[in-house]
Amino acid sequence: MKKLKIGICGWGNVATGLYKVIKDSKLEIQEKSNLDIEIVVIGARRDNPKCNPLDVLIERDIFDVLDHDIDVMVELIGGVEVARKLLLSAIDKGVNIVTANKAVLYHHGDEIFLKAKEKNIQVLYESSVCAGTPIIKMLTEELAANKITKISGMLNGTSNFILSEMEFGADFDETLVFAQKEGYAEPDPTFDIEGLDAGHKIGLLSSIAFGTNLPPEDFHIEGIKDLEKIDFEYAKMMGYTIKHLAVASMDDKQIQLRAHPALIPNESFLANMKNVRNGIEIQTDLIGSVHIAGSGAGQESTASGLVSDLVYLSRLNNNNKISQHEDLNNKIKIQNFGEMKFKYFYHIKLSEPDIDLEVVKNIFIKNQISISSSKIFENETGNSSMIVITDYFKNENKQVFESMLKNIDSVSNFKSIIIES
Which three-class secondary structure state does DSSP give residue 164? helix
User: Which residue of the set 3, 20, 150, 201 is catalytic?
Assistant: 201
At 204, give phi and psi (nearest 5°).
Answer: -65, -45
Which three-class secondary structure state does DSSP give residue 191? helix
Burial label for 410, CB within 10 Å (0-12, 13-18, 19+), is middle
The answer to whether the CB of 367 falls within 8 A of the CB of 344 is no
Whether 201 is a known active-site residue: answer yes
Q: How far is CA 62 from the centre of its chain?
A: 27
Between CA 126 and CA 132 the distance in angstroms is 7
Q: How far apart are the first and last CA of the chain?
A: 50
Bridge-partner residues for 377, per DSSP? 385
Between CA 255 and CA 307 the distance in angstroms is 32
Q: Concatenated DSSP letters for 268-310?
A: STGGG--TTEEEEEEEESSS-EEEEEEE-SSHHHHHHHHHHHH
The answer to whether the CB of 123 falls within 8 A of the CB of 97 is yes
Q: Which residues contact 377 (CB under 8 A, 6 or more apart)?
A: 234, 237, 384, 385, 387
Measured CA distances, 171 to 57, 93, 206, 218, 228 (Å): 46, 50, 33, 31, 7
Between CA 85 and CA 278 the distance in angstroms is 30
- Annotated active-site positions, please? 201
